[in-house]
Structure 1
Amino acid sequence: MSEGVLSDYIIDWREFFCGWGAAIINVTLTYPINKLIFRQILHGTQIIPAFLQLKNEGFYYLYRGILPPMCQKTLSMSLMFGIYEEVRRPLVQLGFNPYTAKTIGALTSGTTEAILMPFERVQTILADSKHHIEYKNTIHVFKELKKYGIREYYRGLVPILLRNGPSNVGFFIIREEFQSRFPKYENHLLRTSCEFICGAMIGVVLSTVFYPLNVLKIHMQTKVGGKFDNPFKVLVEIYKERGGKIRYLYYGVQMNYTRAFISWGIMNTAYEHIKNFVY
């Protein structure tokens, strides 16, 4: 890195903060929908049986497991936006092609987010009804997993890596292309609506494309202890268990892209509003 670039390079905490704040708003509003999707993925059921299952369990269990995603998502979104910009910016200053810089920045941020995988692992266990009696809360799960070694916290790492990096590339590039081509409205309501639609549509596309990886990740992470199965082998087993049809791997995808529409719409809108405030 040249002396001029080094002298101009200062870590900007504001991007980290914007991502963190947007995640808090996002997780709080969308957790029940996310849990409904989880049950569909895990049990391969339609939306009505999954909804009735959650209803019968009651409100207490509805928000059971929210602490891990709250911790994971706030840190994850902070890293996603912060590291992306901290990697992209110096690469552009060094003369890299803007799209190359964006791709490297997005892949780096997505891979770095995988450090927070233990939170996602604990959330999966707490959301699975078969573990309701065995595990009491977030802290209890963390303590119990410790018995199996550090690797147990990272069970299901491969599908997460395959999901995070490429989906971040898609998000940042599509988002910036959308913003550069869409009219800049002065009206606050119109501008907010555009921000929501931008995030929502990107979320729908990316969440649908990478949905089978989430199915694979959940099935790998509901297992506690024992050997670590080959991801491809697990995916084939799920495929066979669900009747040997690709479309059965997409159980819950309707609720998933509905959740993604709301979640990423909220996240993008919240991020832009917080960004306008802190800048």
Structure 2
Amino acid sequence: MASADQDQESLQNQNHYLCGSVAAFANIVITFPIHKALFRQQLFGVQAWEAVRQLQSDGLHTLYRGILPPLLQKSSTIAIMFGLYEDFSRLMQLHAPQAPVLLTDSIAAVLAGTAEAVLMPFERVQTLLQDPRHHGNFQNTARVLLQQHGIRELYRGLVPILLRNGPSNAFFFGLRGPIKELLPETKAGQGKPVSDFVCRGILGAGLGVVFYPLNVVKSHARLQIGGEFQSCRVILANVLREREKDGKVSRLFQGVHLNFQSSIFSWGIINATYELLLKML
């Protein structure tokens, strides 16, 4: 009996990884063009319409250029995010049953977010493939990986990712339940996929706004190839100095509106699909 219970628990844990991976895959395929326009805004500090115009100018054949790295990276990191969070939470509750649930869940979320950073080379490749200035240098994912300056080079921008992932995961897993309870649909027991889409989409988008400057720092750090590794403080100062020339320091948040809108859609798709698949399995 105990063995059967353990097998059932193991299967349920595997389902969290599988559902997270499939949900992320679906989201990337649907939202990739939106995120590509957002990347142009973060990189060049341009308006949304100008980012779209640039993509149109590049041509339809380059619209999905660089999609393989985020497909591999996101399907893996979201699987890790949900799967490891459940695993770590279960282990902590098992070995520290007296500890507050909020504390153990927060630690589990931070650990899961930190583990996600192992796969950040995929984001590094995506950044270089999306930058129009490197279109002539890197034709595909394999070419980027082969022309790097060692393994360490693939982890440029690691610090802002660690500063973002852990805290944002803790807020996400800690607030998703309370926010969902505020929706009348969930109290009535109806419209669960819709409530998952809305509440967690808004939560993910809100966290994206809070940590947006770290994403800007991350994007700029990853565009450097070779040379000295710059700290987050130095990169942020350089970005601010560059944008102060136009008298628009607020352009540090250029693209935040599109980021908020796309994040609602992205996190809505991920969470609604994840919960639906989890229920089916």
TM-score normalized by the length of structure 2 = 0.92
Matched, 1:257 2:267: no
Matched, 1:100 2:103: yes
SS of the residue corresponding to residue 242 of structure 1 reads helix
Q: CA deviation at 1:176?
A: 2.0
1:204-261 residue CA offsets vs partner (Å, 9 max, x unmatched): 2100000000000000101111111122011001011111654210001111111101
Q: Which residue of 2 aligns with 1:139?
A: 142
Please say which of residues 243-252 and 210-219 is displaced more in the overlay.
Answer: 243-252
Separation in 1 of the partners of 2:72 and 2:199? 25
**Quick one: which amino acid aligns to residue 207 of structure 2?**
L
Q: 1:115 aligns with which of 113, 118, 142?
A: 118
SS of the residue corresponding to residue 38 of structure 2 reads helix
Matched, 1:275 2:278: yes
Alpha carbons 1:185, 1:191 under 8 Å: kept = no
**Quick one: which amino acid aligns to residue 118 of structure 1?**
P
Q: Which residue of 2 aligns with 1:224?
A: 225
State the aligned residue count. Answer: 269
Separation in 2 of the partners of 1:107 and 1:257? 23
Separation in 2 of the partners of 1:179 and 1:83? 22
Q: Which residue of 2 aligns with 1:14?
A: 15
Q: Which residue of 1 aligns with 2:73?
A: 72
Q: Which residue of 2 aligns with 1:175?
A: 176
Q: Which residue of 2 aligns with 1:81?
A: 82
Matched, 1:233 2:234: yes
Q: CA deviation at 1:200?
A: 1.2
Matched, 1:211 2:215: no
Separation in 1 of the partners of 2:162 and 2:100? 25
**Quick one: which amino acid aligns to residue 62 of structure 2?**
Y
Matches within 5 A, 1:27-66: 27-66=28-67
Separation in 2 of the partners of 1:8 and 1:65? 41
Q: Which runs of 4+ in 1 moved over 6 A?
A: none
What's the Cα RMSD here?
1.7
TM-score normalized by the length of structure 1 = 0.92
Separation in 2 of the partners of 1:169 and 1:246? 30
SS of the residue corresponding to residue 147 of structure 2 reads helix
Q: Which structure 1 residue ranges, 5 or more long, are not aligned?
A: none
Separation in 2 of the partners of 1:237 and 1:64? 28
1:1-47 residue CA offsets vs partner (Å, 9 max, x unmatched): xxx9xx96954211111111110111111100000000010001111
Please say which of residues 87-96 and 65-74 is displaced more in the overlay.
Answer: 87-96
Separation in 2 of the partners of 1:221 and 1:275? 35
